Amino acid sequence: MKTYIIIIFQFIFGAPIVFSQTLQELRGTVSDEASGIGLPGVFISIQSASQKLQTVTNENGYFSLKSIPIGRHDVVFTFPGYYQQTASQISISSGKPTELNISLKERTVQMEEVNVISKTELSDQMAALNSKSFRLEETERYAASRQDPARMVQSYAGIQGTNDSRNDIVVRGNSPAGVLYRIDDMDIPNPNHFAVAGTSGGPQSILNNKYLSNSAFFNGAFPAEFGNAMGGVFDLRFRNGSTEKHERSFQFGFLGTELALEGPLNKSGASYLATYRYSSLALFSKLKVPIGTSAVPYYQDFGLRISVPTKKAGHFSFSALGGASAIELIFDTMKHMPKELYGDLNRNQFFNTQMGVGIIGHVYNLGPRTLMKTNIAIAAQGVDAHHQLIIRDTNFVPKPGSPPIMGFRFEDLKTSLSWYIRHKFNSKHAIRSGFYMHRNDINYKDSVKRFTVFDTSVAEISNRAFIYRLRSQAHFYTIQPYVTYQWQISEQWQFQSGLHALWSNLNTASTALEPRLQVRFQPHAKHQLGLSYGLHSQFQSTYLYFTVPDTNVISNNRVFNNESALLNKNLGLSRAHHIVLSHLFQLNTNWSLRTELYMQYLFDIPVYTIPSAVSAINRGATFSRFFPFYTMQNTGTGQNYGAEFTLEKRFSKHVFTLVNLTLYDSKYKASNNKVFNTDFNGNFSSNVLAGFEYPLNAQNDKVLGISSKFTYAGGKRYSKIDTAASNAQMDIVPINAHVNNLQFPNYQRLDLRFTFKWNSAKYGTELALDFINVLNTRNILALSYSPDFKNLKSEEPYTENYQLGFLPLFYIKVDF
């Protein structure tokens, strides 16, 4: 028995047993950074322990490098007249080939060869100073990322989550509603399950890293091709499927069961890639494994990419993604007060969401320096819910019957056309110009019953009539033309300017012209300075234009809105000036220190037309929608400023490290002419990430990985409660003069991740264990309305809600 155990241990952990070396393929494309056109004849090499492997790109910039030993390798790209680039520590595993897409920058003058070491590769030629490019591998490497780009970027300076149970992100103090998602150059709706109107996040992402390629996140002053966003931009890319053989991937874990298929469609380079994921949480709930809530969320999603290159007609593609989700929160069977992250104990809630996007794309080279791309897309999103009221006696026991009190159905359909052309005049001058056109069709219905906590009769509430807050069908158009010009003045100086315009026939106040500017100066090989400016505008959440406020304010007189008029239909765009000063110090090949100073002035923010602390600047971070009681106007302002410091060791010699600190302030001025902290003003945040991967044998076919993340940040803001108003609205209502003047204790969380990868000739297997909040720290999330049923006049009709406690996650993935 002992001998048998030793043999198993040796097999798993790689004692020196005689095996043939496992080999795999690296493939991808190399393009010109300015024009985006594939570069033929690029020399690609890898120096392995036993030999030097090399190849060149074909006429379309495509390459395939075979017979690479599994493990991590530095890949060197060399082309005459261009900077040499090294893609560092690229992972090669046996289960499936690795894809790598690179863009090379042309020299302005010919000089001695200089190596440019790149942390990651970004496909966009106009890579902004304020972008964080990342490989999708990083969504698995960082602890607590959960294979989700939105959770992964929370490890960066200046970017924070708002709620452990959601992936909304606060970028430099801005509302998560200011984040734009774009995939394959098309804007898409909120790509998350259980998405609420007016938000950009959710509990579970619809995106799947199995179909995404290298992507980027922009955290401010972004280039001119991005518009209708004030906080940040995810610029995501689909990857193409394998053109040489059929490949499969299966994954089973706490968050879902997944299957991915890809392969060639013909011998001319056409390929497919398809993924499907279904929630595993129902099974785990039956096994009594805690999942963060007593309700079981059901969800499923898919991704699809079909790529068809032709010899003369260009490259055609079809990309699609979508998902559906549902959850029921039933509280009328509960006899004691639960601790819930999602849902109110005085309501049964039923919630469903659907989202889907389809994109037809065409890329055509007009010449050796000119590329044209056209996209046609349809994006649809649906959200529906209804609530039932639970009336309890003084012992918290629910009374029979749960009358309906709220219901809504939101339907959005967007049909889009995008087009752009990229032209490179020479090594110094390049331009990109294009436009986006959208037709938006909406169908909104929302109705509620009005009552207070003192209404305790089931029959009385059942007989009350519903009041419509929304009941609109409409369509409108938006157009967003833009142009970006890039001038490589010299080897040290780079200048980029642009202009983005925004127009809509939704109302007469939806027009903007936005200048963008970036200057980059590299006085030394180890130092880079940058200055960025941008004026950015954003529509309000579409449903806000069609809400029916209770009260109209005319010459300071409050008049009840008897005619159900759309009093906020003429709201204008919110706007912001962004200024960023940055310095990058490349300490050596692997270590870098980045410092960024930023200031943002926000204006034309919707606020009430009566004196109030309410501002749209705080919306977009919860499961709740914002419904204005009064008419609104674009007279609010805000200001975000701060300093970010990042020390990073890129992955090398089996180790990576990321340490950052952000000091910031985020405030706004409301219609009462007073200045308040925004909901997102924690004043500071910090992250410490570290990890290593250790090969357990000489063949590198068994690798153990450990990573950790510690987050320490300022606590959430909250307000002194207006008890009478809270009881009247059955929700937390702050005292106007004391909004966000209080702060919960500082937030802290430690996450750990363990991975074990082993490779055979045909299979690549990975086992991952994530321990979220491993110390089970009780971080306060918010106050929720929770009246004392024995004393309805209690001065404290609320309870503290906490963030997620300790949550273990796992998955096992097999590539074959």
For residue 140, the surrounding DSSP H or E stretch is: helix 138-141
Query: Based on the domain organization, do 100 and 161 belong to the same domain?
Result: no
Amino acid at 241: G
Q: Which of 89, 118, 147 is the last residue of a domain?
A: 118
Q: Which of 66, 89, 118 is the last residue of a domain?
A: 118
Query: Based on the domain organization, do 108 and 138 belong to the same domain?
Result: no
Q: How far is CA 32 from the centre of its chain?
A: 27
- Dihedral sign of CA atoms 205, 136, 157, 689 in order: positive
Domain assignment present for residue 282? The answer is: yes
**pLDDT per residue over 191-222, tens digit each?**
999 999 889 999 999 999 999 998 899 999 99
Query: Based on the domain organization, do 144 and 55 belong to the same domain?
Result: no
Domain assignment present for residue 638? The answer is: yes
d(Cα 153, Cα 217) in Å, to the nearest integer?
8
Length of the chain: 816
Determine the 3-state secondary structure of 13 from DSSP.
Answer: helix
Contacts of residue 1, defined as CB under 8 A and 6 or more positions apart, other chains included, come to none
- With CA atoms as reference, report the closest residue to 442 among 564, 541, 561: 541
d(Cα 789, Cα 456) in Å, to the nearest integer?
11
CA distances from 626 to 99, 519, 584, 639, 737 (A): 43, 39, 40, 22, 20
pLDDT (0 to 100) of residue 393:
76
Domain assignment present for residue 125? The answer is: no
pLDDT (0 to 100) of residue 25:
87
- With CA atoms as reference, report the closest residue to 227 among 577, 449, 535, 662: 535
Task: Give the HSE-up count for residue 800: Cα atoms under 13 Å, Cβ half-sphere.
Answer: 12
d(Cα 587, Cα 449) in Å, to the nearest integer?
63
* DSSP string for residues in 426-489: SSSEEEEEEEEEEEEEEEEEEEE----TT---HHHHHHSPPEEEEEEEEEEEEEEEEEEEEE--
For residue 100, the surrounding DSSP H or E stretch is: strand 98-104
Q: CB 643: neighbour CB atoms within 10 A?
A: 15
Please report the beta strands in 670-763, taking only residues with DSSP state E, as ranges in sequence order.
675-677, 684-695, 702-713, 717-718, 742-743, 747-759
Q: pTM score, two decimals?
A: 0.90
pLDDT (0 to 100) of residue 667:
98
- CB of 579 closer than 8 Å to CB of 519: no
Query: Based on the domain organization, do 307 and 362 belong to the same domain?
Result: yes
> Strands 84-92 and 115-118, how do they pair?
parallel
Domain assignment present for residue 3? The answer is: no
Query: Based on the domain organization, do 138 and 106 belong to the same domain?
Result: no
- Regions of the chain with pLDDT less than 70: 1-21, 48-50, 109-128, 291-294, 335-344, 453, 787-795
Domain assignment present for residue 581? The answer is: yes
Residue 96 gets which letter from DSSP?
Answer: S
* DSSP string for residues in 643-694: EEEEEEEEEETTEEEEEEEEEEEEEEE-TTS-EEE-TT--SEEEEEEEEEEE
Integer-rounded Cα Rg, in Å, for the chain is 27
In terms of residue numbers, what domain contains 58?
Answer: 21-118
> Strands 742-743 and 717-718, how do they pair?
antiparallel
d(Cα 298, Cα 284) in Å, to the nearest integer?
12
For residue 726, the surrounding DSSP H or E stretch is: helix 723-729
Contacts of residue 683, defined as CB under 8 A and 6 or more positions apart, other chains included, come to 663, 664, 665, 714
- Torsions phi, psi for 10 (to 5 deg): -65, -40
d(Cα 634, Cα 377) in Å, to the nearest integer?
32
pLDDT (0 to 100) of residue 113:
42
Q: CB 4: neighbour CB atoms within 10 A?
A: 8
Q: Which residue intervals of 154-277 are DSSP H helices?
A: none
Q: Which of 88, 118, 148 is the last residue of a domain?
A: 118
- Dihedral sign of CA atoms 310, 209, 155, 677 in order: positive
Sheet holding 52-56, edge to edge: 52-56, 43-47, 71-78, 84-92, 115-118
Query: Based on the domain organization, do 601 and 693 belong to the same domain?
Result: yes
Query: Based on the domain organization, do 79 and 192 belong to the same domain?
Result: no
Domain assignment present for residue 259? The answer is: yes
* CATH at 698: 2.40.170.20
β-sheet bridge partners, residue 484: 432, 498
Query: Based on the domain organization, do 78 and 137 belong to the same domain?
Result: no
Query: Based on the domain organization, do 156 and 86 belong to the same domain?
Result: no
Task: Give the HSE-up count for residue 253: Cα atoms under 13 Å, Cβ half-sphere.
Answer: 20
Query: Based on the domain organization, do 375 and 479 belong to the same domain?
Result: yes
* CATH at 33: 2.60.40.1120
Indicate the number of domains in the chain.
2
Query: Based on the domain organization, do 190 and 93 belong to the same domain?
Result: no
Domain assignment present for residue 143? The answer is: yes
Query: Based on the domain organization, do 761 and 734 belong to the same domain?
Result: yes
pLDDT (0 to 100) of residue 294:
65
- Dihedral sign of CA atoms 116, 117, 123, 127 in order: negative
Domain assignment present for residue 7? The answer is: no
For residue 286, the surrounding DSSP H or E stretch is: helix 281-286
